Amino acid sequence: MDDLFSRLRALAKEEQNETGMPEELRAPLSLAERDEIAAAVMAAGAPRAAAVTPLAPRRSRRRVWLALAVPAAAAAALVLVARPWLDSGGSLPPLPTYEVSARGGMKELRQGERDSAGAAGATARPERVGPQTEIVVGCRPATAVEGPVAARAFVFRDGAAGSAAEIVTQVQTAPTGALEIRVRPLAGVAAVADPAAPARWTLRVAVGRPDHVAKIAASDAAAGTPADGPAVRWLTVPLDLVAN
């Protein structure tokens, strides 16, 4: 570097002799001026640096993308898995199975015999009833029900599907979807007064989503054993008519 400065000074001196450089330009270069010239030379000769993308922002963007994409993919998978379990309306899951029980019928117990609720299931044990007997029907879901439920009750004479009729009920519904139905199943049924009428009747209850239950016809209840659907469960209480 000193050799370079020496040559520059020699060249300047020659030009001064030839051109008559002013006196103020003849002074030797200061240390600051040397550093400035050296920096200019180095800058002019240095190759242009290639553009470099820092890794940290890249990694940060990747982490942000994963944080958004993974939950979105999981949510999509959950929808695909859960969709088959939705009802036909696409808004509520299918109803769980229901168990039915009944109480309040006329008792006919032998000495030492205990009143039993019978086996749990979609059909209760037979109840002995008269024309004005009130019974209480309990409908209990296997698991808590999401969304509203409603119930309708029908009665028909065994072997006579055309005798099916809807009957008046008082229904209380619990938040879990359980129902308690109070009903006089044979009150007002004209055929009960017929001495030749069969003694066996059937009380059939439809529990389900209100819009589905509203569309049920009485003939559906008496059509053999109605098939359950995602939005409707059928429950049965056999009735034995007892003459007064």
Q: Are strands 170-173 and 127-129 parallel, antiparallel or unpaired?
A: unpaired
For 157-176, what is the mean pLDDT? 89
**pLDDT value at residue 191:** 60
SS3 label, residue 51: coil
Nearest to 237 by CA among 194, 175, 181: 181
pTM, two decimals, is 0.59
Within 8 A by CB and 6+ apart from 212, the residues are 229, 231, 232
**pLDDT value at residue 223:** 75
Q: Is residue 199 within 8 Å of 181, Cβ to Cβ? A: no
Q: Is residue 119 within 8 Å of 99, Cβ to Cβ? A: no
Return the sign of the alpha-carbon dihedral for residues 139, 124, 237, 160: positive
Please, what is the average pLDDT of the chain?
74
Maximum Cα interatomic distance, the chain, rounded to a whole number of Å = 151
Residue 76: band (very low, low, confident or very high) from pLDDT cuts 50, 70, 90: very low
Q: Which of 76-85, 138-147, 155-164 has the lowest mean pLDDT?
A: 76-85
For 6-33, what is the mean pLDDT? 61
Q: Which of 64-68, 165-169, 190-194, 217-221 has the lowest mean pLDDT?
A: 64-68
